[in-house]
Amino acid sequence: MLRSPSGGIGNDYTFQWNSGQTDSIITVSPSTTFEYIVGIADGCGTVSHWDSTTMNIIEISANFAATGLLEEQTDVTFQNLSVGADSYSWDFGNGETSNEVNPTTFCGEPMNYSITLIATNDAGCIDSVTQIIEIKPEFSIYVPNAFTPDGEEFNQNWKIFVNGHDQYDFDLYLYNRWGEVIWESHDASVGWDGTYQGQLVQSGMYTWQITVKLPYVDERREFVGHVSVLR
């Protein structure tokens, strides 16, 4: 800020700002709206003048949230939560950019994406924020409908294949025809060898029940089906 006095006797002016500075030109960086007051006197002290100026701070804050199913092969929409901004520049970390307020981008691969939003207001103030969003593998499940625990080389275990689930929240129960649980697992990587209490079960059809939790939402999915033991 600059104050150029005139008048009085001589050119030897003194300055006293309420911020403590004593120069005619001062540089300030206020964090909030602030009124600067300066007292000016000539060299003889015969003329004094008070002046003031107010620095209005226009606050700007960049922020956003990602919405939708955060899994591969899906469109992710971003909710702009910025305050005090007039224009936006997005970088989605996948080669795409946007200037929309609430843009959408396609996430094709399961990976971590670095999303950057730069918010600008009409006064030229800028704020930016970067968030990492994790795109999970697309959920899928495959359950074989038969296997042959007969001591031969192949197909000795019944094992399901599940992808894109919470590995710490998985339940699998296997029932015989009377509704008795003959095997259970809480680890999708563990298969059943066709035994119950150490003995091979009889050939026939058995009912399975699987409950899995998706890792990015509070949602559980349940599946029921049958598997045939062939010998």
Residues 42 and 23 in one domain: yes
**Residue 38 belongs to domain spanning:** 14-55
Categorize the per-residue pLDDT at 137 as very low, low, confident or very high, splitting at 50, 70 and 90: confident
Domain count, the chain: 3
CATH of the domain at 112: 2.60.40.10
Q: What is the pLDDT of residues 30-75, one digit of tens each?
A: 556 656 665 666 666 554 655 666 666 678 899 999 976 676 668 8
Q: Encoding tokens for residue 141?
A: 């499940």
Categorize the per-residue pLDDT at 1 as very low, low, confident or very high, splitting at 50, 70 and 90: very low
Q: Which residue has the tokens 């939560």?
A: 81
**How far apart are alpha carbons 27 and 133 in whole angstroms?**
40
**How far apart are alpha carbons 190 and 174 in whole angstroms?**
13
Residues 71 and 40 in one domain: no
Residues 216 and 156 in one domain: yes
Query: 55, 84, 104 — which closes off a domain?
Result: 55
Residues 46 and 30 in one domain: yes
- 208 Cβ contact partners less than 8 Å away, ≥ 6 residues apart: 143, 172, 173, 174, 175, 224, 225, 226, 227
- The reported pTM is 0.53
Q: What is the pLDDT of residues 86-133, one digit of tens each?
A: 999 999 999 999 999 999 998 888 888 999 999 999 888 899 999 999
CATH of the domain at 220: 2.60.40.1220
Residues 116 and 151 in one domain: no
Q: Encoding tokens for residue 143?
A: 């359950």
Residues 156 and 195 in one domain: yes
Residue 37 belongs to some domain of the structure: yes
Residues 78 and 129 in one domain: yes
